[in-house]
Amino acid sequence: MTPTDRHLLRTLAPLLAAESSAEASAAGVEASDLEQAVWLKLLERLQDDAAPSHPADWLRRAVRAEARRARRAALRERPYRGEEATEPHDSPESSALTTERRRAVRAAVRRTPGHCPRLLTAMLDPADPTYREIAGELGISQGSLGPMRSRCLGCLRRMLASEVPAATPRGRVRETDRWTR
C-alpha cells in the first residue's frame, strides 16, 4: 500500500463512520459491520490499482449498496429448526421486554370503554377461566360473551396500533393525505 493510499484511508475514515452509522439501523446491521465490508471493498480496489476517481462519492455509494445487500440478506435468512431465533427466554433483556409488553397491554385494557376492561381483565387472568366462568363473573349471558369479546379486542387492537406501529417487511408506512379526505 502506498503512502497516498494510507492518506486516502485516513481521510475517508470519519466519512465512512458517519455514513455507516446513518445506514446501519435501517439495514438492521451494526455500523461496524458496514464499515468493515466497505473497507474491504476499498482495499480490494486499491490492490487492483483501481482507486476511485471521486473517493467520497464512491464511499457513499458503497455504503448504501452494502446496506441494501444486508437488508436483502436479512429478508431471506431464516433460523434453522430448533435454533433460537431470538434471545433466550430467561435472559434479563427478554424478561424486561416481556414485562414491558404486558404492562402496555394492561394499561390499554384499563383505558378501553364500557364493559371491556372487566371482560379483558377476566380473559387475561392467569387461571385461564372458561367462557361460562367469565360470563358468570360479569353477569352476562355466555352467548353474548363472544361478540362482546370481539368488539373489545378490536378496540384494544386499535388502541395498541396507534401506540405501537405494526412491523412491516420494508419498514415504511404510506400515510394518506389528510387534506384530500
CA distance 70 to 64: 10
Question: What pLDDT, on a 0 to 100 scale, did the predictor assign at position 119?
Answer: 92
Beta-carbon neighbour count of residue 66 at 10 Å? 23
Is the pLDDT at 87 greater than 60? The verdict is: no
Q: What is the structure's pLDDT at 181? A: 43
Task: Say which residue, 61 or 27, is predicted with more confidence.
Answer: 61
The closest alpha carbon to 123, from 160, 96, 158, 150, belongs to: 150
Q: Which residues contact 29 (CB under 8 A, 6 or more apart)?
A: 67, 70, 74
Q: Give the tens place of pLDDT for each residue, 119-161.
A: 999 988 888 888 899 999 889 888 888 899 999 998 888 888 7
In degrees, rounded to 5, the angle at the alpha carbon of residue 163 between the alpha carbons of residues 123 and 112 is: 40
Angle, CA 95 vertex, CA 167 and CA 28 arms, to 5°: 35
Bigger pLDDT: 6 vs 126: 126
Q: Between 4 and 107, where is the model more confident?
A: 107
pLDDT band at 47 (very low <50, low <70, confident <90, very high): confident
d(CA 39, CA 32): 10
- Burial class of residue 42 in the structure, from the number of CB atoms within 10 Å of its CB (0-12 exposed, 13-18 middle, 19+ buried): buried
Per-residue pLDDT at 117:
93
Q: Provide the mean pLDDT of the chain.
A: 80
Hey, which of 96-100, 113-117, 123-127, 163-167 has the most confident mean pLDDT? 113-117
Eight-state DSSP code of residue 173: -
